Structure 1
Amino acid sequence: MTEAPRGTAVPLQAARRFSVAPMIDWTDRHCRYLHRLLTRHGLLFTEMITTGAVLHGDAARHLRFDPVEQPVALQLGGSDPADLAAATRLGEAYGYDEINLNVGCPSDRVQSGRFGACLMAEPDLVADCVRAMRAATDKPVTVKCRIGIDDQDIEESLDRFADTVVEAGIAALYVHARKAWLQGLSPKENRTIPPLNYERVYRLKRRLSHLPMMINGGIETFHEIGNHLEHMDGVMLGRAVYHNPMMLAEVDERLFGQAPSGLTLAEVMRAMADYAETQLSEGTRLNNIARHMLGLANGRPGARQFRQILSVDACKPKAGPEVFIHALAVVEDRAEAAAS
């Protein structure tokens, strides 16, 4: 049995050097457990969780996590200061290391609830939210935003937004280096069509040099990460590591100067099988875990069949951890055949 990861002692501010972005429907607790197997030092985020879900839904389902995931940040979506304060208190009670306010999500359902990227047009309201959140916790309160929305002038509007939330007392700022076009582009299109403008984020960091600031958007390689770290305090990657999670196995050594996790694909798969066995006994369905593991064998012989097994067999009634071992065996058999 592969030993589960233990919580890292790396300070939160140091962990922000590399973080995995909050991704709706993706970065749930099962995804984070997998990611923590691979990096012990990076900062992990929940998916965005609305204040309504936390305060009026099943709070335990949304907020519970395994302590081995730490350091982990809770990202909240909302625009009512009182609700955000209440949700922040719950987040602190569950043990999150940081509470982050989403001011970047461009989805229609987020706009209709008056939170996410549309709040970039209301920096004073965001500041009120930050103050209420800070009053509710001793944990760091941070914001994740875009460089602007729609027809905003990204020079004047981003500076005003940043200055306003800094005055409200944020501990750090995460900036996705794209505008969000709330009119005319879908959420998917907003991830790729608005042009990246890293230089604008660099200028913001130079102007607010005292504020820990991380950059996000379109970053895919360690070479790109290194370039950004010449200007920023940290980088945040999303889909690049979700679709190729074994990239995380290099993070501790390359970005933190620490020993890598050293886990092989076989060790990761066996650790996840052990994890799945425990989760299944608590009512979790195997496919809810397996769906985050599809990219683990990318680039290896048998990767397509590996994905197929995890996608199809994990959905079958009474599917258990043996599905993970079967998928691993396919890759190992193909590797052995290729070597002979």
Structure 2
Amino acid sequence: EIKSNYGLGFGCTIPLIIGIIANLFVLFVLRSVTIRSTLTTWLLRVQTILDALCCFWDMIFIWVRQCPYSSVLGGWFQCHLWRTQIPYWLAEFMSTCNLAWIMLDRLWATVYCVTYRLNETKYLIATSIGTVVLSVGALIPNVLIVEFVNMTCVTHVNSKEQIAYHVSMFYQPFDFIVYYALPIIVMLFCHFRVVCYYRSVECEQLRHREQEQQHREQEEQQHTEQDKCHTSVVFVDPLYRSMTVGSFCMICCLIIGHTFDVINYLLSNIAKNYLYDFGSDVQLIGTFVTTLNSIVNPVINIFAVPAVKYMKRRHISFINRKFKGLN
């Protein structure tokens, strides 16, 4: 029987509750602000919901590490779904996937801004379906890495439990690639591609200003018409430039948060005497460190998205006026 560690429980619960409240606050603010892109609005809202779910499920699994059961069916579900923390990891996989879509959305809205508006609805449908399909598909093998034998859940699998053992040997590198390496590579590529795009735009604008300065008197009218045409064709919402620092912070937090648990999981395949024990204190510390990313994301959104930052200032000024009025 796995017993709860009250020190670990209380130490992790407080930050997780703060994370839930922060994500719900950002969700409320996002419902009150206007963002030009429907896809961007949708992805940011979904991210807050998924991050809140990550905090919620991590808190639940820290306190309720295993459920009582009296039947074979109940024991099977407890072993394969609860002990493997499927609800938490589903929320975590979906949160990571959605974060990758947010970075891709910035790429589509900047580098491919001409076709972005035309394909925005298709992108929205594709990202929504993709998040569910990719997350569920990547998590299915996780159900099979434990064995329920003689009314007992075996989490320390070895070569005797052939199915769980072979699935575990396959799932560890698979999980590293799909859950950790691939999303990080996609996010870093999108981020730096957008940064390069803005650098090229700045260089082009600087070169254009220099040319305009040289020929201002002779071709002023011609350049004015060209500027208007150029602006209407390649207009990019300033929101995506303002998200540059915030996006990089999100990527860094994801890398830092996920690395600990991923290394902990891979060590069970590399080191002979090391076990990744679901529900143990070390494993739950790993999930908490992973969830720190979900706690930090709403704070980054508050400072990265101008509309959210403006709404936050309005709320603070409103509270200050109320407080001064009471005094």
The answer to whether the superposition gives a TM-score over 0.5 is no
Return the structure number with greater helix share: 2
Larger gyration radius, structure 1 or structure 2: 2
Which TM class, normalised by the smaller chain length?
Answer: under 0.3
Structure possessing the higher relative contact order (Cα contacts under 8 Å, 6 or more residues apart): 2
TM-score in terms of structure 2 length: 0.23
